[in-house]
Amino acid sequence: MKKALIITIVLCLSLIGLSAAPITKVIILFSEQSNATALLHEASYYRDKQEQRNYVINALKQQSFDSQSEILGILEDLQHQGMVDDIESYWLVNCISCTADPSVIPLLEQRREVITVYRVEEAQWIFEDEAIPASRGDGREITQNLLQVNAPEVWAQGYTGAGILIALIDTGVRLDHADLEGRLWDGGSEYPNHGYDFYYHDNDPSDDRGHGTHVAGTICGTGASGSQTGIAPGATIMALKAFNNEGVGDETNWVAAMQFALEHGADLMNMSLGRPQPDAVQKLMMRQACDNTLAAGVVVAACAGNIRQMQFMVPVPYNIYTPGDCPPPHLHEDQLVNAGGTSCVICVGAVDSNNNIAQFSSQGPSQWTDVAAYNDYPYTSGSTTEIGLIRPDICAPGVQIKSLDYNTTNGYTLMDGTSMATPLVAGTIALMLSKNPNLTPAQIDEILERTAQPLTPHKSNDFGAGLLDALAAVNSVNYTEVHENGQTVTIYPNPSASNFTVAMDGMLSVSVFTLEGRLLKTINTQSDECRIEGLSNGVYILKTHTRDGILVNKIVKM
């Protein structure tokens, strides 16, 4: 069957005058995409986070293998004919990229398993490039942005991000900067330079722009050259270069980097990047990647963007970069009037040293009604219900931020941007995970937003939930199944085919959440026992509030 199809394609192409050399890069997007919500539920049956991740990765790989195999065979045969080249298969999003003569595209589009075949257009994903040289400190300097979010008080408790691996998807990293010594991922003999370059497809993720090095310094710069710039100085960076020296690339570089991070054990990702005004197919691809990353149990800090002042060209609800416009893992109570799906993205805006909104920090909301596969978060200007998706989720200092200079091994520079605010959030997540490595993305997001210093009465499209407070966030990390005072909660039956009974001395209330963090119901009680009814089949998070704290358990309705 496949041989006959190849012959047909070759004959058709010959009739329309196929050129021998492939001349355009395309992405073949498959109709069968994962149900990330179902994957998340299925993975939750595994208690271990790594087992959950492995389950999701294997399920995604199996899906791509099953649905892509016939098309891959066709492409490989066409490659032998000189009609196609550079074939790459992806599993985080079910797609294939290749270079091909444009005449191949209509024939591939006719395949029933294909949604679309679209031509790849490289775009600017990294925008900050103006760096002002800064002096080295005296060895005691802690940069202003770290003081502004109360980082030193967290270090005093012993939490530095030690043992947490952060995938930095960016322009690369100055690997021999003194302030990053000992802070770079050991990739063994296969990846000897602490990461990989997905743009040039080699083992050298060195920074040739400066952006990635600056971001890395805000995450874990040790202060060895005189200035403490890193909020999580004990964390480790995996350098994943996805863009060239102009900050230019396409979705495939980015997806490949995310896949690598998931397969090689990254605990979270920092994405100080974004694509302004992608089309609906590109948005679909990027949100699918973020949905599946959430299912794998990994959270992403992503920048909101720097085009607030360009709303005459890029107005609300399109002012936020993608993937920053993707939904968060946890839906804030102010969002519930217009609730939709969730993904791995915590979107970060920027403020100055006085907590004023940075003049460049992109303004929400975003909306997803232009992507048919999602069709959520509708936005109508002035509506009290169709409010779109509130963006950002949180804000952090992003003006005149001092961090590492890629031109030297011991220098510093000042840069502006939501890209500079984002690594403060990523680093804070590392601090939280160093206290409790079992936190879920939804729990991380909920804590960050709940503990942020409010700058507006409600979560807003300027500041999100407010200014990042690293100390308050770490102090609020108390998600354990058994409370530190030895109290336990009894839930029976669990799993249950009908209702649940929760029993515990001193119980004040019980709240039921979806795995994505959406509050379903709260039962206030003065009794030592309460009943939970009316849940659909699935897995839920149960938070039991007592006089001494909160206990967290999973319940399963069958």
Give start-end residues of each CATH 3.40.50.200 domain in the chain: 124-475
Higher pLDDT, 503 or 359: 359
CATH superfamily of 124-475: Peptidase S8/S53 domain (3.40.50.200)
Q: Using CA atoms, how far apart are residues 116 and 111, in angstroms rounded to an integer? A: 9
pLDDT, one tens digit per residue, over 23-49 is 799 999 999 999 999 999 899 888 889
Percent pLDDT > 90 in the chain is 80
Q: CB–CB of 92/293 below 8 Å?
A: yes
5 CB neighbour count, 10 Å cutoff:
15
Ramachandran class of 193: left when φ > 0, alpha when ψ lies in -120 to 50, beta otherwise: alpha
Q: In this structure, which amino acid lies at residue 37? A: T
Identify the band that residue 301 occupies on the pLDDT scale cut at 50, 70 and 90.
very high
Identify the band that residue 17 occupies on the pLDDT scale cut at 50, 70 and 90.
very low
- pTM of the predicted model, to two decimals? 0.85
| Closest to 281 (Cα-Cα) out of 169, 119, 402 | 119
Chain centroid to Cα 312, Å, comes to: 28
Instruction: Say whether pLDDT at 530 is over 60.
Output: yes
Higher pLDDT, 321 or 491: 321
Higher pLDDT, 10 or 346: 346
pLDDT, one tens digit per residue, over 474-526 is 999 974 433 333 467 889 888 888 898 998 888 888 888 876 667 788 898 88
Percent pLDDT > 70 in the chain is 93
Higher pLDDT, 221 or 489: 221
Fold of the domain built from segment(s) 490-557: Immunoglobulin-like (2.60.40)
Instruction: Say whether pLDDT at 129 is over 90.
Output: no
pLDDT for the residue 47 = 80
Q: In this structure, which amino acid lies at residue 170? A: D
Across residues 210-232, what is the average pLDDT?
98
Give start-end residues of each CATH 2.60.40.10 domain in the chain: 490-557
Q: In this structure, which amino acid lies at residue 318? A: Y
Across residues 168-195, what is the average pLDDT?
97
Q: CB–CB of 166/202 below 8 Å?
A: no
Mean pLDDT of the chain: 91
Across residues 175-184, what is the average pLDDT?
98
Across residues 336-365, what is the average pLDDT?
97
- 3-12, 434-443, 531-540, range with the lowest pLDDT: 3-12
Across residues 227-252, what is the average pLDDT?
96
Across residues 183-207, what is the average pLDDT?
97
Beta bridge partners of 495: none
pLDDT for the residue 128 = 67
- 261-275, 280-294, 382-396, 489-503, range with the lowest pLDDT: 489-503
| Closest to 345 (Cα-Cα) out of 392, 389, 297, 290 | 290
- Lookup: tokens for 15: 């009739």
**DSSP strand pairing (268-271 vs 165-170):** parallel
pLDDT for the residue 538 = 81
Q: CB–CB of 304/349 below 8 Å?
A: yes
